[in-house]
Structure 1
Amino acid sequence: METSRNPRRRTVLILTALAVTGSLTATACGGESATATTSDGKAKVTVLRSNGAIFEPLYIAQQQGYFKDAGLDVTIKAGAQDTSQNAPSVLNGEAQFAMTDSSGFLKGAAQDMPIRIVTGLQSATTKTDPTDGLLVKKSSSIKSFRDLEGKTVGISALGGTIQFICEYLVQKAGGDPAKVKFVALPTTSLTDAATSGKTDAVFSFGPFYFAGKDSGLRSIGNGMNDVPGMVQGLLFSSRQYLSKNGDTAKKFIEAVAKAITYANQHPDAVRAIDKKYTQVPAAFIDKHATNYYDKTLNTTVMRTVITKMHAFDLLDKEPKDSAIYWDQAPTSAGE
């Protein structure tokens, strides 16, 4: 069990090592600056997906022929378990695009990695019911995020999106995030940690969140949906690849955008992909609503996330927008 109130030093050291490794490899190999093509002239593209979810539009774009119609030959591969570690593979040309979440990308951007977001895949929204959130025992004295002061919260990883959302909601409720202790636990152990009293609360997600509620745990708030517009899934590429292959990248994100629209209109297609590529039981997949996908990157909310992550000591510095988004990415300042 890993415990930390301030994982900043550990995070910075890891990311610095990744940045150096990626930069050296990209320099040695020259990166993937020129688009490889198939014998019939299609541009070859490799994209690294997450191991959990939100990758469904990628497979839909493949199944519905959107990539093929755009003149692309796309290979989808499972990336690193921690998606923030996909950056070196993109920098050295092993893949042209990769998935991660807000904090995963921002940590790389804060370390001056030459990577840029090309499109969103999913953002927190009030259009759907929560699929993640804080769970406590029914008898717990914790009634709001403010009550987490002096308490221990179990999360799947330190220093990432989940720790950020907990600290942000504690502060929003009038509490002091610095007084909350976080411990890293296996995702599969979160429910047991809360029910056994090993932790005062846990922040869980997906099937584990619903399993925790089914076991009798009580949820507080609406999870990440309490920060509408926060990017939960995105695709990024290297600045070098984008500068040399802008047309290919544009075709790629346009195909993904078509797939996002299709996914939102055809939930059964999403369920079929989840049954094939995840380890979630089919009965659970059929029982619950599918994700709502969104290509739009809300720059206003992202800036709030950046500012707060830095204030909470989860980011070494605040990267500028010019170091975050590709100039062709679907950005919006929101309402």
Structure 2
Amino acid sequence: MKKWFILVCTSFLILLSLSACNQNKIQNLKLAEVTHSIFYAPLYVAMEEGFFKEEGLDVELTTTWGGDKTMTALLSDGADIALVGSETSIYVEAQGSKDPVINFAQLTQTDGTFLVSREKMDNFEWDQLEGRTFLGQRKGGMPQMVGEFVLKQNGIDPTNDLELIQNIDFANIPSAFASGNGDYVQLFEPTASIFEKEGTGYIVASFGTESGHVPYTTFMAKESFLKENDEAAKKFTAAIYKAQQWVEENEVSKIAQSIAPQFEDTEIELIETVVARYKEQGSFSTDPILEEEEWNNLQNIMDEAGELPTRIDYDTLVNTTYAKDVMKK
């Protein structure tokens, strides 16, 4: 009887130990980001503040430098999750994908670019672009589509009212402007603020403020991955939501200090300037839900730019289940 009791107790302890190991098991996820930018501050907060680890996730981050390369990494299983503009999922779906790319958590909700003028202007008006040279972004990319949309919203025809230059590689646009090309340029941060600090150019308008809410960068994954990794996707979304709330609730200086390790070559004062600018204009989503109105606004912008292959229903490529579940808690 005594031996039997000892055997039962030993078996119970082994099962308990195995159960604890399973609960503490860390799941690895490969995340590809389209670029490495302060614009994605909540993501880096999730990493630096340990929110992914709290959810039992080890996230391996890779910068893939470009929407096409990011989507290629996702489709070829080089990444489990991609952080990229939602327009890329529409392009993939329009090509007849058998495994749709699903937007399941939103990170930024406005465009992240700014209009920079070579001359300092105290009272900028959009009609001042008429007859001038404008260095835009890559044709077909979200920044360029938003840029053209905003110009048209303000009565400027990008084709006829100014000289629009689009044939410069993304990485070379700032240097082209700095070397004397163009009267205006569309730039991301922190380059826009660096130019302003150096006197190379001056921020006169925000494309994010002008264009309204759009799913500018979202976390997405193949439908098959989400079905097979439902719990991991939910945990990932929970970590992002924690970070979004943390960014919303904390001061700019604290946010900058948190993400500073991600930008070792950038002065903390500049990080603060950029975080403040994006936070003030509401670029950081405060929750991971991609709203239907935002989805429709995105397709309207693509359509206006002549880049929308076909309209895709919201429910086809957007899944808010994880976001709504984690927000309930």
TM-score (structure 1 length as normaliser): 0.73
Deviations along 1:105-164, one digit per CA (max 9) or x if unpaired, are 443344344101111112129xxxxx7321223289x95445545543213433212211
Aligned residues: 288
> 1:1-335, aligned counterparts within 5 Å?
40-53=24-37, 54-70=39-55, 72-113=56-97, 114-124=100-110, 132-138=113-119, 144-146=125-127, 148=129, 151-179=132-160, 181-185=164-168, 190=173, 193-194=176-177, 197-214=180-197, 215=199, 217-266=201-250, 267-278=252-263, 279-290=265-276, 291-292=278-279, 293-294=284-285, 295-328=288-321, 330=323
Aligned partner of 2:28: which letter?
A: K
Query: Post-superposition shift, 1:103?
Result: 3.5
> Gapped runs of 5+ residues in structure 2?
1-20, 325-329
Alpha-carbon separation, structure 2, partners of 1:249 and 1:275:
27
Alpha-carbon separation, structure 1, partners of 2:303 and 2:24:
48
Contact preservation (8 Å) 2:299, 2:311: yes
Structure 1 window deviating more from structure 2 (157-166 vs 193-202): it is 193-202
| Distance verdict in 2 for CA 1:150–1:329, change over 3 Å | farther
Contact preservation (8 Å) 1:152, 1:183: no
Aligned partner of 1:250: which letter?
A: K
Higher Cα Rg: structure 1 or 2? 2
| Distance verdict in 2 for CA 1:111–1:330, change over 3 Å | farther
TM-score (structure 2 length as normaliser): 0.74
Alpha-carbon separation, structure 2, partners of 1:92 and 1:227:
33
Deviations along 1:302-334, one digit per CA (max 9) or x if unpaired, are 312212312322232222213321241548xxx
Alpha-carbon separation, structure 2, partners of 1:59 and 1:171:
35
> Gapped runs of 5+ residues in structure 1?
1-36, 126-130
Contact preservation (8 Å) 1:98, 1:237: yes
Query: Post-superposition shift, 1:186?
Result: 5.1
Alpha-carbon separation, structure 2, partners of 1:269 and 1:112:
45
Aligned partner of 2:238: which letter?
A: E
Query: Post-superposition shift, 1:51?
Result: 3.1
The structure with the greater share of residues assigned to helix is 2
Aligned partner of 1:87: which letter?
A: M
Structure 1 window deviating more from structure 2 (54-63 vs 255-264): it is 54-63
| Distance verdict in 2 for CA 1:200–1:314, change over 3 Å | farther
- What SS does the aligned partner of 2:107 have? strand
| Distance verdict in 2 for CA 1:274–1:313, change over 3 Å | same
Aligned partner of 2:255: which letter?
A: V
- What SS does the aligned partner of 2:150 have? helix
Moved over 6 A (4+): none
Alpha-carbon separation, structure 1, partners of 2:22 and 2:59:
12
Alpha-carbon separation, structure 1, partners of 2:246 and 2:185:
34
| Distance verdict in 2 for CA 1:73–1:146, change over 3 Å | same
- What SS does the aligned partner of 2:216 have? strand
| Distance verdict in 2 for CA 1:299–1:145, change over 3 Å | farther
